[in-house]
Amino acid sequence: MDVAKRIEHFFKAYVNEGLERIEDPVIMVKQYMRDVKTEITKRTKLIEKRQHLSLTLKEDAKLLKEKIEKRETQAKQALENGDEELAKKLLLNKHDAYDTQKHYEALYERNEEQLVELKVELEELHVKYQKLKERKLDLLLRMEAVQANQTAQQYGREKGRRSHFHEDPFQLWEERIIEMERTVGKQCEQENVEMNQKVMAELENLKGELKEKSQ
């Protein structure tokens, strides 16, 4: 069928072209699923009509068989009553009914054969629809995998650009504070040294002044 051929050609092209445009395959598979669903609905309705036709043909053939038996009985009665002309007409009507019955039986048999073919086609369509559902799921999963990979690659690039940042911001802040404390501590230590030097210088000056006065 046309839908199956279109799907086959599409997947061959899909395999050759790869995953560069993976959104398109998902959309196309969904469209093919709708096409197959439409075909399923058509086949189902046609099967229902054919089944109704078979019942009608079978019932009509049964009625014609009863008519044939009735006309034969009536023809015998007409002959018994000496009405040969009526018997002849009844027999002609019997044969017309017989021909019509055979025609209906032939139509019934042909219709039953077509019903079998339609049911096979319908089953194939259901199988095709299920395969398309599985294919759509496969494509969606593969699309998610590709998108996840792209996201991971983007994250890796961004992480590379942020490599100078520490992974733990609190640890980074603590390290900065420790460094600040060390800097402040060094400054205080330097100031203490300078202060001691000034005090010692003043002390020596005072000693010198006292020594001069005592002389």
Distance CA 49, CA 88 (A): 39
pLDDT of residue 69: 93
Each residue of 3-48: pLDDT tens digit? 555 555 555 554 454 444 444 666 777 788 888 899 999 999 999 9
Query: Which has more confidence, 7 or 112?
Result: 112
Each residue of 125-144: pLDDT tens digit? 999 888 888 877 777 666 66
25 close to 61: Cβ distance less than 8 angstroms: no
Distance CA 189, CA 185 (A): 6
Q: CA-CA distances (angstroms) from residue 189 to 104, 180, 193, 211?
A: 119, 14, 6, 33
pLDDT surpassing 70 at residue 121: yes
Burial of 140 (0-12, 13-18, 19+ CB in 10 A): middle
Question: What residue spans define the domains of the chain?
Answer: 2-161
